[in-house]
Amino acid sequence: MFGILFVLILFSAFSSGTETAMMAVNRYRLRHRARTGQRSAILVESLLRRPDRVLGLILFVNTLVNIAAASVATIIAIRLMGEIGLAIAPVATTVVILIFGELAPKTVAALHADRIAYPASYALYFLGRLLNPFVWVINQVTNGLLSIAGVRMDERSDEPITREELRTVVLESGGMIPRRHQRMLLSIIDLESVTVDDIMVPRNEIVGVDLNKSPDEILDVIAHSQHTRLPVYRENIDDIAGVVHVRRVARILRDKKEFSIADLEQLVHEPYFVPLGTPLHTQLLNFQRRRNRIGFVVDEYGVIQGLVTLEDILEEIVGEFTTDVQTLAQEIHPQADGTYLIDGTATLREINRQLHWNLPTEGPKTLNGLVLEHLETMPEPGTSLRVGPYTIEVTQTSGNAVRTVRINRQPFPVRGTDT
């Protein structure tokens, strides 16, 4: 009898642990293994398509085993202790089943769900075929009662994972995904929330070729350019003619003794315009579809606001890989006292990326815009303000813009904004 009781407790532990493991199994790993053809994963996935059936089967077995164990324990107690055993048996059986048949196996299953669920799927499949009539009746009664309460099993659907949930999955992957790859994955996820406005080169910083200049002046611009493609315009960027590839100009200079503006105009490609506010993931696909690498960002009136390139979008994913050190040095100057002198035209995203800061990027895109938005007036040199943990001091202005600021990051964030 003791052997029978031991086997029944083992069955109770198996059913309890399997129930927890099946519900706690990693669904994404399960789906991946099922697609690779792993038989146990396919069985688990098929069982979980109808959780009411698998739960009905497990609970049916668990309840049946626990009742049988209680009955056997009672018989053993009566034989050993007589009538007093009849009073002791329920208490002793409850404690044993609670510890060894419920709590311990469920705890182990919660910690090692995948290790238990996959092997247990074979036993559940066999029991499901064996006990199908009983389980079917139980499920029909249960589902009928649930339908009366307004719960319908056919309305169940797997909700797609949200972007924030996917971010959490990546962040909690630990050592399974290298830190650099984590940053790349998070950058890809964030492409939907970042627009071309956030990464474009402002129109006043666009370097291009003015067709109204002399051939020598144009060649000088091309010779000192650090870009392979340059905008071509007449007088100003609003009268854009297109884009020229610097290498093609070099070929003309190699084949001809003299360079003319007419030769340059033959090399100009039609400009590609990008609406203001286009998400980066959309623009990346547009670049790929049109086989373009550079686009001019225009507002609702068709006025050019800036320039965006394929390289800019790729750097949002993989980080800086062709950083112009000279340009960076002109914008951000670390000081001996731990502060930074930063050019007002520097973009907030670039500052955050280079200094690992968290300046707000929801509103203005540049440091100049951030200062003007908070002060709501043109500041004088020496004016200071606080934005979170950052103390910003205007050191130089030029016309209607802030030219240079000094920023000191406090060790603790400061609530509110003081001017």
Residue carrying the six token digits 């960076």: 328
* Distant-in-sequence, close-in-space partners of 290: CB < 8 Å, separation ≥ 6: 272
CA torsion sign, 341 to 344 to 347 to 352?
positive
From 103-107, 261-265, 371-375, the region with the lowest mean pLDDT: 261-265
pLDDT in tens, 169-202: 788 877 778 888 888 888 888 888 889 988 888 8
> Do residues 5 and 72 touch, judged by C-beta distance below 8 A?
yes
- Tell me the three-class secondary structure of 246-275, residue by residue: HHHHHHHHHHCCCCCHHHHHHCCECCCEEE
> Do residues 308 and 165 touch, judged by C-beta distance below 8 A?
no
- pLDDT reading at 276 higher than 90: yes
CA-nearest of 52, 65, 45 to 154 is 52
**How does residue 415 score in pLDDT terms, banded at 50, 70 and 90?**
very low
Please provide the DSSP assignment of 153-173 as one string: GGG---PPPPHHHHHHHHHTT
pLDDT in tens, 296-319: 999 999 999 999 999 889 888 887
What is the reported pLDDT for 419? 45
The dotted CATH code for 195-311 is: 3.10.580.10
- Residue-averaged pLDDT of the chain: 84
Per-residue pLDDT, averaged over 45-59, amounts to 82
Across-strand partners of 391?
386, 408
> Do residues 143 and 154 touch, judged by C-beta distance below 8 A?
no
Q: How far apart are CA 308 and CA 204, in angstroms?
A: 14
Q: How far apart are CA 233 and CA 211, in angstroms?
A: 6
CA-nearest of 89, 96, 71 to 9 is 96
> Do residues 102 and 14 touch, judged by C-beta distance below 8 A?
no
33-37 CB contacts, 8 Å cutoff, 24+ apart: none
What is the reported pLDDT for 89? 78
- pLDDT reading at 361 higher than 80: yes
> Do residues 229 and 201 touch, judged by C-beta distance below 8 A?
no
- pLDDT reading at 417 higher than 60: no
Q: How far is CA 185 from CA 169, 177, 190, 313, in A?
A: 11, 10, 9, 14
Residue carrying the six token digits 């960027």: 237
> Do residues 305 and 297 touch, judged by C-beta distance below 8 A?
yes
Neighbour count for residue 24 (Cβ, 10 Å): 17
From 68-77, 112-121, 156-165, 350-359, the region with the lowest mean pLDDT: 156-165
- pLDDT reading at 285 higher than 90: yes
pLDDT in tens, 198-221: 888 888 889 899 999 988 888 888
- In single-letter form, the type of residue at position 121 comes to S
- pLDDT reading at 223 higher than 70: yes
CA-nearest of 109, 117, 100, 95 to 17 is 109
Please give the CATH topology (third level) of the domain spanning 325-409. 3.30.465
